[in-house]
Structure 1
Amino acid sequence: MKKLSRLLKSGLLMICLISPLYSFSQQASGTIKGLLIDDKQKAVEFTSISLHKAADSTIVKGSISDSSGHFIFEKVNTGSYFVQAGLVGYKTYRSKNFSLTSEKKLISIESIILEAENKTLDAVTITAQKPLIEQHIDRTVLNIENSILSEGNTALELLEKAPGVTVDDEGNISMKGKPGVSVMLNGKLTYLSQRELTTLLRGTSSGSVSKIELITNPSAKYDAAGNSGIINIVLKKNEKAGINGNMYVNAARSRANRYGGGAGLNYRNGKQNLYGSYDHAYRGEIEYLSFIRRFHDDNSGIPSRISYQNSATNEPLYTNNYKLGADFFLNDKNTLGVLFNGNHGKYINDNNTSNLLVSSSGEVLSQPQTHNDNLDRWKSQAYNLNYAHKFNDSGRELSADLDYSLNDNRSNQSMDTRFPNQENPGLETRSVRRGNVPSVTNVYVGKLDYTQPFGEKAKFETGWKSSYVFVDNNLKYDTLRNNEWIPDPSWSNHFTYKETIHAGYINFSKEFGSISVQAGLRGENTQTEGHQVTTDSLVKRQYFQLFPSLFVTKTFTPDHSGQFSYGRRVERPDYSDMNPFRFFRDPFLYYEGNPFLKPELTQSIEVSHSYKGKFTTTLNYSYTDDVMNWMMGQVDSLNTTYQSPQNLKSFINYGISFTAAIQPASWWTSNNFANLLHNRYKGDQDGGDLNNSIWSYSVNSQNIFQLGKGFSAELSGFYNSKSVYGVFVTKSYYVISAGGQKQILKKKGTIKLMVNDIFQTRQRRNTARYENLDMEGHIRFDSRMATVSFSYRFGREVTPARKRNSGSEDIQNRVKGGN
């Protein structure tokens, strides 16, 4: 059985990780275009056209005619096809079969004439499923709603499956080996601390996520925050005309039970679009953690005491997401939108920890037992008012947003530690503390963007954004003495934080034949004020910084193109990182903020080459000053370990990545990513000379199999080699997941079955050895999960008569009701 298990693991891992080596025989090589008109020779605008394989009528691509009736299909594989179009009140049109060959790469279809139907027809729906992973020139897009393996996960777990993205046990996100990712929801920053963002992403069900965009080098129009780039999580929104909706339910089992469900409803006519949705999920989770810490009395290198800490946590999570919004199409040039988003829930962390302290000879010195019971409740509400004005059909546009969000996080904590008497086991001493840890964040944002095209090949963009954030964090702890709760000022702390950012940007892009250039400059004036009310300590900062960006794209041949990009970005410390209060996991391990943290600045360069839009190679280099890092330290005399954010001198990251989207067979689509990188951290913390570096690599593969008769399957896997983060070195690990689905009820219903992390290999093992610090950690995540789900689409789905086009995707996301 052990040999069979090893063979199965090896086989699945090989399928996931070597698929890029298969045949590249069916690659995108041609273009198909045409014109859609009615029987009166008038252009039929904003109507769906689908491209089908002639052999089995399978839909290959979907397109929409523009305002002049023209449509186009680009990057189409060689083969035999036909196109089909339909519109309410007209007969469905089907073209003759035609062939796209390596010699004939451009097909111009004769004008498609839609004839009026004499009888009333039901609504026509033509859909073309997007690929799981799309590689754009400035970003990688994961179409989550098309993935079987996304079922039953949280948004945070979805990120770990994204190519080049890693998430550590504290929820910190890295992209291509670089920490400092800025996370947006529907194109908008959350302005939350790392802890609050982690809670929000854990509380966001994958069922409400439409796609995830990975932007490694954003342009000047984006906020400068996020040294390693931006991850934009786009939530689902139905825009189909008529009354329609969807619902889903799922049930799962890991070490504990999980379940979830939700529904969405949409109504759209020519003048308005009303929508709403609600999702609920319960997530049971059990994790195991262990730490080995060695303490020294001298510089001999031989520990005098060793601590063996083991923890088991029961972490049930209840979450609710809801959304209500409307878009009002006032006329052809003006659109007004309103949106209310909400997320609330609770998270329980019931933790039992044993800490065995022994001497170098093995003598038991102490064996305390700690019970931590934390109950986190949060309520996040966001209100958005947005407006877009289209001056003319050339793309000249003005858009505006007003946002307000309230994030209320409250935590009730208790820590009960019992210290047995080693000489008399029947006797023990006890230390009990409880805490009320509220954190309220208010965010106000105003934004204005303007787009001015100059002909078809040049465009000027400019905009202004102002944001104000106020955080109030008032921690109150009590200690139990003689069966009475006494306020504990040594643990309590009141901290407030204010942040105001005014930003403006200009962006200009122009095509010069085969070369496209985009240059931008963003200026941000930042004012921060951190006030530790308890000690009346005030830290103020004010600074103005410029963030240039440059993109140059060159098309060498129809198959080959290249790009150069440069950008400068900033990562500001979270207010929670600057709050100097201490949070104890047990009496011998605590976390502490640093009010003197400085922002870190990064300069990045990327050079990439794309072949046929399917194969991309990217070289990247970045240098970060004053990099923020959670450093670990020890107080040997107290047998205590602590962790605190510090500014290191520098962080250098460089590497090469490969992306390949291939089709080894007509029924098999494979998306693959590989990254080879080198990370180096340098600093002089605690009197030492930190110089920690390593070469690392990661591989990610997503494979989709179309099995016919409504059946499909998905197999994914990723491998991360040994890596470094500050003083920590993390060992390698891999994860393999698989799933299948069946379409039923006239393709409106879908049943899915998936198993995530089949071999339960998502375990985090790391070591930290720096100066007197000597520590090993091992976390066994509750990641092996079997899920069954059912989803159903209902209502009339009519092809919309009008589709809005905004000056940029970011603006379009806002008009659709950004978070």
Structure 2
Amino acid sequence: MYLLERFRPVSTFSLFRLLKKIILIGVCFCIHIAHAQQGKVLGKLLTAEGEIGIEFASVALLTVTERNTVKGTFTDVTGDFSFEQIKPGEYILRASMVGFKSYESDVLKLNLNGSPINLGNILLIADAQQLQEVTITSQKPLIEQKLDRTIMNVENSVLSEGSTALELLEKAPGVAVDDEGNVSLKGRSGATVMLNGKLTYLSGAELTNLLKGTNSNAVSSIEIMSNPSAKYDAAGNAGIVNIVLKKNVKTGLNGSFTVNGGSSRNERYGSGGSLNYRGEKVNIYGNYNYGFRGETEYLDFTRRFYDGNFMPDQPPKRTSYQHTNTNEPLHTHNFRTGVDFFLNERNTLGMLINGNLGKYTHDSKTSNSMIDQETGIPLWNATSSNYDKQKWESITYNLNYVHRFKREGQHLSADIDYSSNSFTSNLNLDTRYLNDVGEPLGDFSSRRGYVPSLTDVYVAKLDYVQPLTREAKIELGGKSSYVKADNNLRYDTLYNNTWVPDNLSSNHFNYTEYIHAAYVNLHAEWGKVSLQVGLRGEYTKTRGHQITTDSLVNRNYFQLFPSFFLTRKLDEEQQLQLAYSRRIERPDYGDLNPFRMFRDPFLYYEGNPFLKPELTHTLQLSHTFKSNYITAISYNRTTDVMNWLMRQNDATNTTYQSPQNLSRFINYGISFTAMTELTPWWTGSHFGNVFRNIYEGHPDGGDFTNSITSFSLNSQNTFKIAKTISAELSGFYESKTVYGISRGRPYYAINTGIQKQVLDNKATLKLMVNDIFQTRQFRRTARYENIDMYTHIRLDSRMAMLSFTYRFGKQGLKSRERKTGSEDIQNRVGG
């Protein structure tokens, strides 16, 4: 009895396995029989000359009598199409493409033996009249809602001209950009910025300069992903904002050029162009953009010193009033060039070079007056001159390959990248001290610094898509990256007219990082239900070596990042979606480097080599009505949240900021997006968000909770004035907010623009004005322990720009989309 009971589970398990095998064999047999009785239709669409394959053409199989669609598909990059698993019967094939006359075949007869029908080459005849009509009227809607993202199509927007990619972000639904260029999404800071589906491997400051130097007319659309799928890197706790740059979509030899000019507090101008040639076997392309951005900003810092913790009913001992004027000219050169070789109808090999070069000067004058609050007498006034000249060069080399299998939708892509990034900074800080009547107090102080930074990035990436059925597919992929950064900051101070090394402020920091990732993503549809489930695993190994103090920080960890999307259509006009994802935000390389950057002798910033990555759980329930109205309820919880915190030394009247890990950050709220067409000549998109942010932490042994309920509004309106003239008006409003220990006051901005098509619609003339009333100003208050600080930053945001764009070459078909694998890490490169 004992033996019988002991082995009974084993026998039951064996019987279960045998039964499962029998069922599996039966299912496979049935599938085989079914497939044997089904046929295949294939062919190739070419231009009338028979030279160029027509990509993305619509092809459909129709019933003979009712002309109902049985199956539909699109041609691939070489013009090929195929239909599989077609039941025996009679069909008609129809093919259509913008700019061509539609094609309709004779009756196709599929026999019971399932023999394939190969239609061979099908020539489509160009339709000049149709092409002209589409050129005038066809335009994507400003806002599109997809399964896992919201898309803002800015390519034809008036407001996209004459500004920068950074300023465009401020107009996207739910996106906010602060004075340092940090991007938040629906009230959550830490959004990851991508270019063409990949990150940029740059530090926050360098990414800001890159986006400031990228002309807005180079941007096609902005994609907002609150819950990205497992296919994307897990970085970005607030989600991903993807800036999609324009691609040349024409065949033959064609291109465009743009010139713009205008002024804010200083002049701004830029120019650029693109050239593309596509033949049957090769596609050669390139573009270049130059931009100059003169910028002047005003910054005020008021710091109160209590010689102890801040008490609301206690007057301060001393107050520092600091005012800074900055002159910040920025020159940028962005280029992109490459070639695609169409080896055959299923294999494409490409090479690509991306480049970003620039120089930036920070020239500021600062006055810092210290007042004794008990007597009201100035103790001293420090006047500082801060001159920092920066140069950078970032070049990425990419080799890419795509193989399209015979089965529709099945393909394999691979990328190998090498990215070289160099950054240098030469800075000088001179300070003189004066008494209350303007007489010198002792000797002046002088500091100089040299900051060379070198970062190399190596990335290999592989993605594979396998259709399972007509309604289901699986995506698999892997990625490995290696980053090596070397930052050697050297400071000298002037002592007795001799430069002496400042070893306390200097720092040499080396950083290496390995990230190995793999993902699986399953997408399926059953009638009114769509499901996407994904899982991504990432192994991270880092080594930060502070050579100056011989301090070493090693970390290695493995994390799983699931994602989930479930969509249910309620009827023809409504649908519900539930989305969940887990994400990570790793520290920027510069944030890990403990070097110091001085604004003046009493205010500086330094990194933290002990920063830990933060982890976020994101949950969202949304309802869509008529594809024009979207309501979303979201909840997000982040642990070890990274935040720039202030510290203060009352004895030396010094305040400094460094990134720290707080305990947690909680964000929840409700948002509403609406696309409206109030009249045939007035369309718009509008976004509103009500949210609550809660920060909790224990910095320096303290204990604080900072929370507030906020709301934001964003509205974009387009007006059709005449056949070739249109105008736009946009604006946003942000209420009181919190960030770490600080609180921000409300601010808003209003923008407008007008455009006219000229030269037979081959050129566009646009005039736009950003921040008409110059109201985009940041006011913040921070009060915690002995910190009591007020900040007022007046950006150079009011700007008028006039731009002219001319397009040449014949209209044609979409060219191959080119992405690299290395852009995922670039926004974290130290500089």
Which category of TM-score, normalised to the shorter sequence, fits these structures?
0.7 to 0.9
Q: Does 2:358 match 1:348?
A: no
Partner of 2:344: 331
Q: Helix, strand or coil: the match of 1:490?
A: coil
Matching residue within 376, 379, 396 for 2:410: 396
Tell whether 2:475 aligns with 1:461: yes
Contact (CA 8 Å) 1:296, 1:772: kept in 2 or not?
Answer: yes
1:437 corresponds to 2:447: no
Alignment partner of 1:306 is 2:306: no
CA contact (8 A) 1:421 1:428 kept: no
d(CA) in 1 for partners of 2:536 and 2:407? Answer: 28
For 2:597, the aligned partner's letter is: F
SS at match of 1:419: strand
Q: What is the CA-CA distance between 1:197 and the residue it aligns to?
A: 1.9
Which segment is superposed worse, 480-489 or 777-786? 480-489
| Residue 192 of structure 1, CA deviation | 2.3
How many residues were matched structurally? 730
> Is the 1:629–1:726 contact (alpha carbons within 8 Å) kept by the matching residues of 2?
yes
1:624 aligns with 2:628: no
Structure 1 residue aligned with 2:563, among 549, 555, 576?
A: 549
Is the alpha carbon distance of 1:744 and 1:69 closer, same or farther for their aligned partners in structure 2, counting shifts above 3 Å?
farther
Give the drift of 1:488. 1.8
Structure with bigger gyration radius: 2
Q: CA deviation at 1:409?
A: 1.1
1:529 equivalent to 2:539? Answer no
Within the candidate set 204, 229, 235, 2:214 is matched to: 204
Return 5+ residue gaps in structure 1 as ranges. Answer: 1-35, 50-62, 71-82, 94-113, 805-810
Q: Per the alignment, do residues 364 and 667 of structure 1 end up closer, same or farther by CA in structure 2, a change over 3 Å counting?
A: same
- In structure 2, the residue corresponding to 1:321 is in which secondary structure? strand
Q: Which amino acid aligns with 2:363?
A: D
Residue 29 of structure 2 corresponds to none
User: In structure 2, what is the Cα distance between the partners aligned to 1:512 and 1:287?
Assistant: 56
Matched, 1:741 2:755: yes
Q: Aligned-pair distance for 1:423?
A: 7.3
Query: Cα deviation per residue 1:627-659 (whole Å; 9 max; x = unaligned)?
Result: 010011211121111111110000000011111
SS at match of 2:176: strand
- Give the corresponding residue for 1:294: 304
Write the deviation string for residues 79-123 of structure 1: whole angstroms up to 9, x where unpaired.
xxxx997656x6999xxxxxxxxxxxxxxxxxxxx9987x99899
Residues 72-471 of structure 1: pairs in structure 2 closer than 5 A: 87=99, 124=131, 126-127=134-135, 128-298=138-308, 301-360=314-373, 361-422=375-436, 425=439, 428-471=442-485
Report the secondary structure of 2:648's partner residue: strand
Q: Deviations over 1:105-157 (max 9, x none)?
A: xxxxxxxxx9987x998995643222222222211112232121122222222
CA contact (8 A) 2:45 2:80 kept: no
CA drift of 1:719 comes to 0.4
Per the TM alignment, residue 167 of structure 1 is displaced from its structure 2 partner at its CA by 1.3
Verify: 1:756 aligned to 2:770, yes or no. yes
**8 Å Cα contact 1:355-1:369 kept in structure 2:** yes
**The one of 524, 536, 559 aligned to 1:510:** 524
Going from structure 1 to structure 2, the CA distance change for 1:303 and 1:817 (only over 3 Å counts) comes to closer
Q: Is the 8 A contact 2:199 2:823 kept in 1?
A: no
In the TM superposition, what are the counterparts of 1:807-818 in structure 2 within 5 Å? 813=819
Distance, in Å, in 2 between the alignment partners of 1:368 and 1:48 is: 69
Shift of 1:405: 0.9
The residue identity in structure 1 corresponding to 2:381 is: Q
User: What do residues 263-305 of structure 1 show as CA deviations (whole Å, max 9, x unaligned)?
Assistant: 1001112222211111111111110000110001345632000
Going from structure 1 to structure 2, the CA distance change for 1:116 and 1:408 (only over 3 Å counts) comes to closer
Provide TM-score, normalisation by structure 1. Answer: 0.85
Q: Distance in 1 between matches of 2:818 and 2:473?
A: 17
Cα 1:462/1:432, change in 2 over 3 Å: same
**Paired residue for 1:477?**
491
Deviation at 1:338, TM superposition (A): 1.1
Deviation at 1:484, TM superposition (A): 2.6
Q: CA deviation at 1:46?
A: 4.7
Match of 2:109?
none
1:199 shift after superposition: 2.4
Q: Distance in 2 between matches of 1:781 and 1:366?
A: 28
Alpha-carbon distance change, 193 to 39 in structure 1, aligned in 2, over 3 angstroms: closer
User: Residue deviations 1:602-622, cap 9 Å, x none?
Assistant: 011011111111111111101
- Aligned residue for 2:173, secondary structure, equals coil
Is residue 760–residue 784 contact of structure 1 (8 Å, CA) maintained in 2? Answer: yes
RMSD: 3.0
SS at 2:155's partner residue? helix
CA contact (8 A) 1:85 1:92 kept: no
2:609 alignment partner in structure 1: 595
Deviation at 1:560, TM superposition (A): 0.6
Preserved contact between residue 692 and residue 708 of structure 2 (Cα < 8 Å): yes
Please say which of residues 188-197 and 664-673 is displaced more in the overlay.
188-197
| Deviation of 1:182 (Å) | 1.6
Alignment of 1:795 onto 2:805: no
**Cα distance in structure 2, aligned partners of 1:817 and 1:369:** 42
Shift of residue 421 of structure 1? 4.2
Q: Report the Cα offset of residue 687 of structure 1.
A: 3.0
Residues 236 and 583 in structure 2, CA contact (< 8 A), matched pair in contact too:
yes
The answer (yes or no) to whether the contact 1:531–1:538 under 8 Å persists in 2 is: yes
Q: For residue 229 of structure 1, report the CA deviation from its aligned partner.
A: 0.7
Which residue, 649, 670, 679 being the options, matches 2:684?
670
Structure 1: which amino acid aligns with 2:594?
P
TM-score (norm 2): 0.83
What code does the residue aligned with 2:326 have? T
1:571-610 CA distances to partner (integer Å, 9 max, x unpaired)? Answer: 1111211111111111111111111111111011011111
Paired with 2:293 and 2:99, the residues of 1 have a C-alpha distance of 44
How many angstroms apart in 1 are the aligned matches of 2:219 and 2:356?
14
Distance 1:815 1:769 in 2: 43
Kindly state the Cα deviation for residue 236 of structure 1 after the two structures are TM-superposed. Answer: 1.8
- Contact 2:718/2:726 (CA < 8 Å) preserved in 1? yes
The sequence identity of aligned pairs, in percent, is: 56
Secondary structure, counterpart of 2:716 in structure 1: strand
SS at match of 1:627: strand
Aligned residue type for 1:722: K
Can you list the C-alpha shifts for 1:669-711, whole angstroms capped at 9, x where unaligned?
Answer: 1011111100000011123211000001101011111111300
Give SS of 2:217's match.
helix
Structure 1 residues 151, 45: CA separation in 2 closer, same or farther (over 3 Å shift)? closer
Q: Distance in 1 between matches of 2:447 and 2:511?
A: 26
| Structure 1 equivalent of residue 116 of structure 2 | none
Closer/same/farther in 2, CA of residues 815 and 668 from structure 1, 3 Å limit: farther
SS of 2:651's equivalent in the other structure is helix
CA contact (8 A) 1:46 1:64 kept: no
1:766 paired with 2:766, answer no
